[in-house]
């Protein structure tokens, strides 16, 4: 494939010595004297507009004729997927992982997840992260919940999100790999979620649970962990969460992280990620002692002698394996091992990895990168070898060749590594081994003599007679690593196995010879970070068992195991102050642990389903609507379908469902029994009975009188079912008539008495839902539920046949649409009822698919929220996402920094992450210019780093800002938005805004330009050379451009006076008006406006003293 930079001299476009200047479009307004359009020429396109529409989309009426030469030139001009030779990355350590995602990318990727049953991705994760739960949380913009799911199972979840070989783990098992679009980018989503949580700066807390072990043991047990890498961080974190108070990590370097810090390059794993994980661990009270080298400063036995009750060995393999042919060669002669090369790369590129006097508080100069040039040969084909190869380019190599004994099919490196090397133009020489090293007169390596290998017929690798000479300037050996002799001696009395690794029980990571020694990571045989993390996790639980069983005096091990149920692992989840936020709420005197309940819908088809939901934490439930037995129904099939609003996207994340399902098929006696059992077994999770009857006082009295003995916490009257039941004189047939609603509520109030709460469930299919709500309250209802499903017809096929259709005649009926598509209607209904009937309790329902959506309903005036479609898209376990999301929102209101966040995104979260921000597009010659500027910047930065003192991770990260106000109660959040909802005539037309484009985040798609031209005000110019849009002062602030822009916050709306200070807003009237204009900026709020006020209280005789049924 030809590279763009190599063609720079062939293309006239790319031969340009400088980036071409952007053309600017003339102002497209058509003004004459007085600023008005010629009344005789109002529809003709002017020359200025012809220029504006130069690249605008038009219906093609003939094929395009263009020479292949021109097509090739155009291809180069607009090329975005340009190759990047490694030598162009000298001193550049920017993130190059293909998996890294912005928030936009993360949201799009997360919505693809199927949330599979018994998800294979979770089974393939060594640490068993709840993958589908954290991806679901990301899709709902609940990044705290996502990070909690990740970090609860893997305390080094950020590191693993960046370096995990997921193609062989979770991603390799993703069910979507069986489809054209491919597997989910799970590791990219994991990295994104934890990075966002890192920005939240929320501290982790340990909790001593007496049910998990003896508090006395938690206090007195002393635990030592040797090595500060992922295995030890994981083990120490779980021990800290359990409540152990004396946990100490001994690290030989001056910085945390082990090999993650010292041997994984910064463009794959930056130091701040490693530092954050170490600090997050230390928040649990874990002590870290630096500059403590195992085998030199202490041994396993000396730790025991000092009084440590258990020791975890989490050291790496410090000694490189070296081919004897390189015996005697050093870095001065051009020979490195991975153990001498990668740590120096890290120290020269990762601020904090060079060591800055841990424990002394000092600072030292950051050393320079290893200096390479010319041709570098890397020996090996594992992950470490590939890190060496790509790092060599950043240290000055012009050419890198990877040499290995076997073929490409036998490479041990994972695709995540090999793809980066291929992208950077590394060369490969398989089936080769070094026989002799060639030196120059100065003793420096100048070449290798190689023997070629092959597999014989028996599949054995054999050496051939072929010999090859390969000229080179440096050699980096990456053949693996091993324990050193001194380290082996220091491990005693622990023993090694036949492979030179610590001899442990692989199920418990406990030493076979010494029960108080545990191990994990490289020294125990695990070769990847995530397995090391899991070793630490496994060891933590089994160390906990060991300590509880051995340190409790007067109790046998069997008795301790039985008392604390130690036979089944029960490690604590990650816990923060967010998880302690109270989200209970009171609805008409009924206390709920949280405001999330099951709607009277398919999730409540049976009592056992409600029981399972309660067991998982749902706050309340409304039964499936039931009736007197003589009105029992039988459903048709099919009856529940995906809505047409989602378009051609299948699977979960449906924006709507439509159903023609009726009420329950079960008897009244069944539901009475359900209420009795659930009320008894879950007294703190309210059960609300949903009932329906015809417009007959006797039927309602009978139904209520038979329901009340089961003692439900409240009753909901279904006056709004939009299909099927109306033909029987029930549901919406009653709910659309104010008088019928008023009478039914009065009949029910007669039956239940003055103090029992009941709610009228309202239909949106009315002219003004406020008057119906008022009628319900006038009749005696305690409150209302808004809204039921919306009557709809979802679609027809090409033969005009609807879906769903029933029977041989393929008939359908109008069904109820639910899901996110109806949320705007629900918000409008809730807010309008809350504004007009203050104090009336409201249960919101309709498209509450996330904690954020339920918060919106609460801010509009709902006290509790009923949920159905979200469960249909996923399952009952989504409750954890709802709870964590609402807790985060309330907690964020107590901290001044987090109050500025929107939807768990900080201010500026969507700004460009580009290092070079110079308003250049990212294609063709502009991208080349960007790269040149970035390279120059990197070389300057590297010089500056090498001559400056740097800080270190041992300095604790800044603590979170203090909470400057108490965490608000959920009750105080109800109706917060109502003061911001007004009539149109209340809106301030003096405050005009215009669009503003961030050129560094713009992807040059021109969607804003097209939309503005054909659906707006022709206020965006589009440069034909750079494809950068420019907002002109024709902009009226309509916001259509921002609405169609595919990049979050690329277009924002800013005050007009800031963007166009010399161009005040002027309404374009076309032809000058005749006479005085009443609706001017100064006089729009005139007396011609009628009494119609969509946000004004209707004329109803309701006051709070009349609201009945509050316990």
Tokens for 1088, please give them: 């011609």
pLDDT tier, 949 (very low <50, low <70, confident <90, very high otherwise): very low
Name the helix (H) or strand (E) containing 851.
helix 851-860
pLDDT band at 481 (very low <50, low <70, confident <90, very high): confident
800-813: average pLDDT: 96
Question: Is pLDDT of 491 > 90?
Answer: yes
Q: In b/e form, how buried is each residue of 450-480, taking b as 16+ CB within 10 angstroms?
A: bbebeeeeeeeeeeeeeeeebebbbbbbbbb
CB 997 within 8 A of CB 1008: yes
854-891 pLDDT tens trace: 999 999 999 999 999 999 999 999 999 999 999 999 99
Give residue-wise pLDDT tens across range 254-305.
999 999 999 999 999 999 999 999 999 999 999 999 999 999 999 999 999 9
pLDDT at 104 (0 to 100): 94
Alpha-carbon distance of 925 to 22, in angstroms, equals 13
Average pLDDT over residues 914-930: 82
Task: Identify the DSSP state of 619.
Answer: -
Give the model's confidence band at 935: pLDDT under 50 very low, under 70 low, under 90 confident, else very high: confident
Q: Can you give the pLDDT at residue 25?
A: 44
Mean pLDDT over 399-415 rounds to 93
pLDDT, residue 480, reads 84
CB atoms within 10 A of CB 383: 22
Higher pLDDT, 12 or 339: 339
Banded pLDDT at 1107 (limits 50, 70, 90): low
Q: Compute the average pLDDT of residues 944-954.
A: 43
Task: Give the pLDDT of residue 1068.
Answer: 83
pLDDT (mean) for 892-911: 93
DSSP state of 1018: S
Could you give phi then psi for residue 461, rounded to 5 degrees? Answer: -75, 125
Cβ pair 795, 803 in contact under 8 A = yes
Of 635, 660, 662, 641, residue with least CA distance to 795? 641
**From 568-572, 725-729, 984-988, the region with the lowest mean pLDDT:** 984-988
The answer to whether residue 31 scores a pLDDT higher than 50 is no
- Tell me if 136 sits within 8 A of 115, measured CB to CB: yes
Q: What is the C-alpha separation between 787 and 761, in angstroms, rounded?
A: 7
Site of tokens 């010595």? 17
* Per-residue confidence band for 548, with pLDDT thresholds at 50, 70 and 90: very high
* Cis peptide preceding 638, ω within 30 of 0: yes
Q: Where are the beta strands (DSSP E) in 782-888?
A: 783-786, 790-792, 815-818, 842-845, 864-867
Helix axes 823-836, 851-860, angle to 10 degrees: 30
Query: Which residue is catalytic, options 235, 388, 395, 721?
Result: 721
pLDDT band at 553 (very low <50, low <70, confident <90, very high): confident
562: pLDDT confidence band, cut at 50, 70 and 90? very high
pLDDT digits 0-9 by tens, 458-478: 999 999 999 999 999 999 999
Structure-block tokens of residue 772: 């119906």
What pLDDT, on the 0 to 100 scale, is given for residue 1094? 79
Q: Which of 736, 764, 727, 698 is nearest to 633 (CA)?
A: 727
- Looking at residue 244, its pLDDT comes to 97
DSSP 479: S
Who wins on pLDDT, 391 or 1089? 391
pLDDT higher than 60, residue 1097: no
Indicate the DSSP class of residue 367: P
Task: Considering only the C-alpha atoms of the chain, give the largest distance between any 2 of them, rounded to a whole number of Å.
Answer: 111
- State yes or no: pLDDT of 840 exceeds 50: yes
What is the per-residue pLDDT for 943?
56
Chain mean pLDDT for the chain: 90
Top-confidence residue, 971 or 955: 971
Catalytic site includes residue 721: yes
CA angle 638, 643, 647 (to 5 degrees): 130
Q: What is the pLDDT of residues 1006-1016, one digit of tens each?
A: 999 999 999 98
pLDDT in tens, 677-726: 999 999 999 999 999 999 999 999 999 999 999 999 999 999 999 999 99
pLDDT, one tens digit per residue, over 626-659 is 999 999 999 999 999 999 999 998 999 899 999 9
Which parts of 472-584 are beta strand (E)? 474-477, 481-482, 504-505, 510-511, 517-519
Beta bridge partners of residue 843, listed in sequence order: 785, 864
Pairing between β-strand 790-792 and β-strand 815-818 as defined by DSSP bridges: antiparallel
For residues 453 and 431, the answer to whether their CB atoms sit within 8 Å is yes
CA distance 774 to 766: 13
What is the rounded CA–CA span in Å between residue 1076 and residue 1058?
30
Ranges of beta strands (E only) in 975-1086 are 993-997, 1020-1022, 1029-1031, 1051-1055
pLDDT at 363 over 60: no
Average pLDDT over residues 993-1001: 95
Q: Which residue from 1053, 975, 963 is spatially nearest to 1008, judged by alpha carbons?
A: 1053
Burial of 885 (0-12, 13-18, 19+ CB in 10 A): buried
First to last CA, the chain: 76
The answer, yes or no, to whether residue 936 has pLDDT greater than 90, is: no
Q: Which segment of 113-117, 318-322, 436-440, 590-594 scores lowest on mean pLDDT?
A: 318-322
pLDDT for 1109 beyond 70: no
Quick check: 274 and 529 in contact, CB under 8 A? no
Report the percentage of the chain scoring pLDDT > 70.
91
Q: Percentage of the chain with pLDDT > 90?
A: 77
**Which residue, 318, 261, 528, is CA-closest to 416?**
528
Residue 860 near residue 975, CB atoms below 8 Å = yes
Query: pLDDT band at 33, cuts 50/70/90?
Result: very low
Read off the pLDDT of each residue in 165-172 and give the average, rounded to a whole number: 94
Mean pLDDT for 1090-1098 is 66
**Are the C-beta atoms of 812 and 640 separated by less than 8 Å?**
no
Beta bridge partners of 204: 576
Q: How confident is the model at residue 951 (pLDDT cuts 50, 70, 90)?
A: very low
Cβ atoms of residues 409 and 455 within 8 Å: no
Q: Say yes or no to pLDDT of 1087 above 90.
A: no
Name 233's Cβ contacts closer than 8 Å, sequence gap at least 6: 155, 156, 249, 256, 257, 277, 278, 281, 533, 536
CA dist 314 and 336 (Å) reads 25
Structure tokens at 446: 């100048």
Q: Is the distance from CB of 424 to CB of 434 less than 8 angstroms? A: no
834, two tokens: 């809350």
> Residue 1078's pLDDT band (boundaries 50, 70, 90)?
low
Question: Who has greater pLDDT, 201 or 1?
Answer: 201
Give 956's pLDDT tier (boundaries 50, 70, 90).
very low
DSSP strand pairing (993-997 vs 1051-1055): antiparallel
**pLDDT tier for residue 366 given thresholds of 50, 70 and 90:** confident
Q: How confident is the model at residue 249 (pLDDT cuts 50, 70, 90)?
A: very high
Count, residues in the chain: 1111
The pLDDT value recorded for residue 674 is 98
Q: What is the pLDDT of residue 1085?
A: 53
* Range 764-778 average pLDDT: 96
């Amino acid at each position: 494939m030809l590279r763009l930079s190599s063609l720079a001299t062939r293309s006239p476009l790319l031969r340009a010595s400088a980036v071409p200047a952007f053309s600017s479009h003339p102002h497209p307004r058509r003004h004459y004297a007085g600023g008005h359009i010629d009344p005789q020429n109002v529809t003709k396109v002017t020359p200025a507009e012809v220029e504006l529409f130069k690249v605008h989309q038009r219906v093609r009426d003939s094929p395009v004729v263009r020479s292949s030469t021109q097509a090739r030139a155009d291809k180069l001009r607009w090329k975005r997927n340009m190759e990047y030779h490694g030598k162009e990355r000298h001193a550049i350590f920017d993130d190059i992982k293909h998996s890294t995602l912005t928030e936009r990318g993360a949201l799009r990727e997360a919505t693809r997840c199927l949330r599979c049953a018994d998800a294979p991705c979770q089974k393939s994760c060594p640490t068993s992260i709840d993958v589908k739960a954290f991806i679901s949380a990301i899709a709902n913009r609940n990044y705290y919940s996502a990070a909690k799911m990740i970090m609860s199972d893997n305390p080094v979840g950020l590191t693993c999100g960046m370096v995990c070989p997921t193609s062989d783990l979770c991603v390799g098992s993703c069910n979507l790999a069986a489809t054209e679009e491919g597997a989910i980018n799970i590791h990219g989503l994991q990295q994104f979620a934890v990075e966002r949580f890192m920005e939240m700066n929320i501290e982790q807390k340990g909790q001593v649970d007496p049910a998990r072990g003896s508090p006395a043991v938690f206090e007195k047990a002393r635990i030592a962990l040797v090595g500060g890498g992922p295995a030890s961080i994981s083990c120490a974190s779980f021990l800290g969460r359990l409540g152990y108070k004396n946990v100490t990590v001994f690290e030989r370097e001056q910085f945390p992280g082990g090999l993650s810090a010292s041997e994984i390059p910064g463009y794959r794993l930056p130091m701040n990620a490693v530092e954050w994980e170490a600090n997050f661990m230390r928040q649990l009270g874990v002590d870290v002692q630096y500059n403590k080298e195992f085998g030199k400063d202490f041994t396993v036995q000396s730790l025991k002698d000092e009084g440590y009750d258990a020791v975890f060995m989490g050291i790496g393999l410090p000694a490189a394996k070296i081919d004897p042919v390189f015996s005697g060669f050093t870095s001065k002669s051009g020979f490195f091992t991975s153990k001498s090369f990668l740590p120096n790369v890290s120290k020269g590129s990762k601020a904090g990895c060079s060591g800055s006097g841990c424990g002394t508080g000092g600072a030292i100069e950051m050393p320079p990168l290893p200096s390479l040039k010319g041709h570098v040969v890397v020996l090996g084909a594992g992950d470490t070898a590939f890190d060496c190869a790509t790092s060599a380019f950043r240290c000055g190599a012009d050419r890198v060749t990877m040499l290995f004994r076997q073929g490409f099919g036998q490479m041990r490196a994972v695709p995540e590594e090999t793809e980066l090397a291929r992208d950077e133009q590394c060369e490969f020489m398989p089936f080769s081994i070094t026989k002799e090293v060639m030196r120059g007169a100065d003793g420096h390596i100048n070449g290798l003599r190689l023997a070629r290998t092959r597999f014989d017929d028996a599949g054995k690798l054999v050496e051939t007679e072929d010999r090859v000479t390969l000229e080179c300037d440096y050699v980096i050996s990456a053949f693996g690593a091993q324990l050193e002799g001194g380290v082996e001696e220091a491990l005693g009395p622990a023993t090694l196995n036949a492979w030179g690794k610590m001899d442990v029980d692989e199920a418990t990571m406990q030493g076979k010879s010494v029960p108080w020694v545990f191990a994990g990571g490289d020294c125990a045989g695990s070769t990847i970070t995530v397995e090391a993390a899991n070793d630490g996790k496994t060891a933590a639980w089994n160390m906990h068992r060991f300590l509880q069983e051995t340190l409790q005096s007067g109790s046998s091990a069997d008795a301790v195991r039985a008392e604390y149920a130690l036979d089944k692992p029960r490690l604590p989840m990650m816990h923060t102050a967010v998880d302690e936020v109270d989200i209970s709420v009171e609805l008409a005197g009924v206390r709920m642990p949280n405001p999330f309940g099951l709607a009277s819908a398919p999730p409540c088809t049976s009592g056992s389903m409600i029981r399972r939901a309660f067991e998982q934490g749902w706050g309340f439930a409304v039964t499936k609507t039931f009736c007197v037995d003589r009105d029992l129904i039988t459903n048709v099939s099919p009856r529940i379908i995906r809505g047409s609003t989602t378009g051609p996207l299948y699977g979960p994340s449906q924006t709507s469902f439509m159903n023609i399902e009726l009420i329950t098929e079960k008897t009244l006696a069944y539901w009475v029994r359900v209420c009795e059992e659930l009320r008894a077994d879950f007294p703190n999770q309210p059960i609300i009975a949903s009932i329906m009857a015809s417009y007959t006082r006797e039927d309602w009295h009978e139904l209520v009188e038979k329901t009340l003995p089961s003692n439900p916490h409240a009753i909901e009257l279904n006056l709004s079912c939009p299909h099927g039941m109306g033909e029987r004189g029930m549901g919406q047939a009653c709910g659309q008539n104010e008088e019928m609603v008023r009478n039914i509520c009065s009949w029910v109030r007669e039956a239940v008495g003055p103090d029992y709460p009941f709610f009228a469930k309202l239909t949106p299919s009315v002219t003004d839902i406020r008057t119906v709500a008022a009628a319900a309250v006038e009749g005696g209802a305690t409150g209302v539920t808004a809204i039921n499903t919306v009557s709809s017809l979802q679609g027809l096929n090409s033969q005009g046949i609807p879906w769903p259709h029933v029977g041989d005649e393929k008939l359908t009926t109008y069904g109820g649409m639910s899901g996110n598509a109806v949320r705007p209607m629900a918000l409008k209904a809730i807010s309008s009822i809350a504004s007009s009937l203050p104090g009336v309790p409201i249960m919101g329902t309709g498209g509450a698919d996330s904690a954020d959506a339920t918060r919106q309903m609460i801010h509009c005036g709902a006290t509790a929220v009923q949920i159905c479609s979200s469960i249909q898209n996923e399952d009952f376990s989504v409750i954890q996402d709802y709870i964590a999301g609402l807790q985060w929102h309330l907690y964020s209101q107590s901290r001044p920094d987090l109050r500025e966040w929107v939807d768990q995104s900080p201010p500026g979260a969507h700004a460009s992450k580009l290092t070079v921000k110079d308003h250049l597009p990212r294609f063709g010659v502009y991208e080349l210019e960007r790269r040149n500027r970035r390279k120059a910047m990197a070389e300057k930065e590297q010089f500056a780093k090498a001559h400056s003192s740097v800080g270190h991770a041992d300095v604790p990260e800044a603590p979170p800002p203090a909470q400057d106000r108490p965490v608000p109660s959920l009750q105080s959040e109800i109706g917060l938005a109502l003061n911001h909802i007004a009539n149109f005539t209340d809106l301030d037309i003096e405050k005009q805004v215009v669009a503003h484009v961030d050129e560094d985040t713009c992807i040059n798609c021109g969607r804003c330009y097209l939309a503005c031209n054909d659906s707006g005000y022709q206020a965006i110019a589009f440069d034909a050379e750079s494809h950068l849009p420019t907002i002109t002062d024709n902009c009226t602030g309509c916001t259509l451009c921002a609405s169609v822009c595919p990049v979050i916050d690329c277009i924002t709306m800013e005050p007009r006076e800031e963007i166009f200070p010399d161009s005040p807003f002027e309404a374009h009237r076309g032809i000058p008006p005749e006479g005085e204009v009443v609706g001017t900026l100064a006089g729009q709020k005139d007396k011609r406006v009628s009494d119609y006020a969509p946000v004004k209280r209707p004329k109803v005789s309701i006051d709070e003293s009349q609201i009945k049924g509050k316990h």
